[in-house]
Amino acid sequence: MTGKLTLIGCGPGAADLLTLRAMQRIKTADLILYDRLVDPEVLSFASADSTLEYVGKGCGDGGRQQVDINARISEALSQGLTVARLKSGDPMVFGRASEELAIAVSMNADIEIVPGVTSALAAASEWSIPITERAELQCFVVTTGKSSKDGKEPDWCSVVRPGVCAAFYMSVAQSWRIQTALMAKGVPGSLQCDWIENAGKPDVRHVSSRLDRLALDAREHAVKNPAILLIRYPLSAAIADTGQASELA
């Protein structure tokens, strides 16, 4: 009999941000595969009979490759095991969920997805930064500073627009490229930008910046991953920038 795959969102780090459902599924799993950013306290909910395997990787350390993780999931499912795949944040947000779900689908295994607090929302909450505001910020967009292929990054200029709050994952190393790309398209350099490092953890840190100082502040304050970058482009900022341009003309 084929087993079951459960993708579990463990939130940004703090164990007390887990949902009750996540805790219950961790307790009943036969095999638990967990990432680098999953808090050790989360693993304490596992049954004494379950097997815990670390499958994470840090920046630049190679770590466990996705193809190996996929093979381990396939092997466990073929043995009829209940596999809990623990991911930081929410499993459906930059969590490679589609690749792992495809394995379970191909094997006709049972599937369950337990949502978690995504890191972008946790980061905004840590420093009371509204991601939507009536008449100012009407859209919230999640994007990334890093792509699986070099030179294939998202079109950041189509994302950061008036009325939008954009949350950038995996963007510390790309801060200069993000800054220059946006300003080259006319995004005001005065826009408020916020780095929130280690959201949801005791060592959370906030670095306030502006778009025209984004890369400089990231370097001077030694911003490190995991960090979320929030760029808010209020409608009033776009109007003010247009007015300034008209005066200069």
- Enter the pTM of the model: 0.89
β strands within the chain, DSSP E: 4-9, 31-34, 51-54, 82-87, 110-114, 139-144, 164-169, 192-197, 205-210, 227-233
Q: Which of 3-12, 138-147, 224-233 has the lowest mean pLDDT?
A: 138-147
Convert the pLDDT of each residue in 96-117 to its tens digit: 899 999 999 999 999 999 999 9
Task: Using pLDDT thresholds of 50, 70 and 90, give the confidence band for residue 1.
Answer: confident
Convert the pLDDT of each residue in 71-86 to its tens digit: 999 999 999 999 999 9
Higher-scoring residue by pLDDT: 151, 33: 33
How far apart are the C-alpha atoms of 138 and 4, rounded to whole Å?
Answer: 39
Mean pLDDT of 221-238: 95
Neighbours of 203 (CB within 10 A): 7
Mean pLDDT of 14-38: 95
Mean pLDDT of 40-51: 95
Mean pLDDT of 81-92: 96
Contact call for residues 12 and 201 (beta carbons, < 8 A)? yes
Contact call for residues 151 and 219 (beta carbons, < 8 A)? no
Query: What does the chain come to in residues?
Result: 249
**249 has a pLDDT exceeding 50:** no
pLDDT at residue 151, rounded to an integer: 66
**212 has a pLDDT exceeding 90:** yes
Task: Using pLDDT thresholds of 50, 70 and 90, give the confidence band for residue 131.
Answer: very high
pLDDT at residue 149, rounded to an integer: 66
- Residues marked active site are found at 35, 57
Contact call for residues 13 and 201 (beta carbons, < 8 A)? yes
Task: Using pLDDT thresholds of 50, 70 and 90, give the confidence band for residue 58.
Answer: low
Packed helices 97-106 and 66-78: angle between N→C axes, nearest 10 degrees: 30
pLDDT at residue 62, rounded to an integer: 58
Nearest to 34 by CA among 75, 67, 68, 69: 69
DSSP-derived secondary structure for 176-233? HHHHHHHHHTT--TT-EEEEEESTTSTT-EEEEEEGGGHHHHHHHTT--SSEEEEEEE
Contact call for residues 232 and 203 (beta carbons, < 8 A)? no
| Secondary structure of residue 29 in the 3-state scheme | coil
pLDDT at residue 247, rounded to an integer: 41
